[in-house]
Each structure stands twice: as structure tokens, then as C-alpha cells.
């Protein structure tokens, strides 16, 4: 059970990082 929770947390972290990267990329795109 603990392993499954760890896997879920990892997916959540990757989703957050992906969202932040996409947001930064959009800001840079608007600048140019």
C-alpha cells in the first residue's frame, strides 16, 4: 500500500513540474 501511495505522489510531483514548465514556457513565448 505504501508503495502505491509513493507512486501516486511521484506522478503528482511530475504533473506539478510539467505545469510549472509549461507556464514558464508560455510566459517566455508572450515576451517575444
pLDDT on residue 14? 94
pTM higher than the cut 0.85:
no
Unique residue bearing C-alpha cell 505522489:
9
Q: Which three cell numbers stand for residue 25?
A: 514556457
pLDDT of residue 24: 85
Domain span at 16: 1-32
pLDDT score recorded for residue 3: 67
d(CA 29, CA 32): 6
CA angle in degrees (0–180, nearest 5) for 13-9-27: 15
Query: Count of domains in the chain?
Result: 1
Cell numbers 505504501: residue: 2
- Report the C-alpha gap between 32 and 10 in whole angstroms: 33
Amino acid at each position: 500500500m505504501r508503495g502505491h501511495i509513493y507512486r501516486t505522489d511521484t506522478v503528482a510531483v511530475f504533473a506539478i513540474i510539467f505545469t510549472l514548465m509549461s507556464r514558464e514556457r508560455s510566459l517566455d513565448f508572450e515576451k517575444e
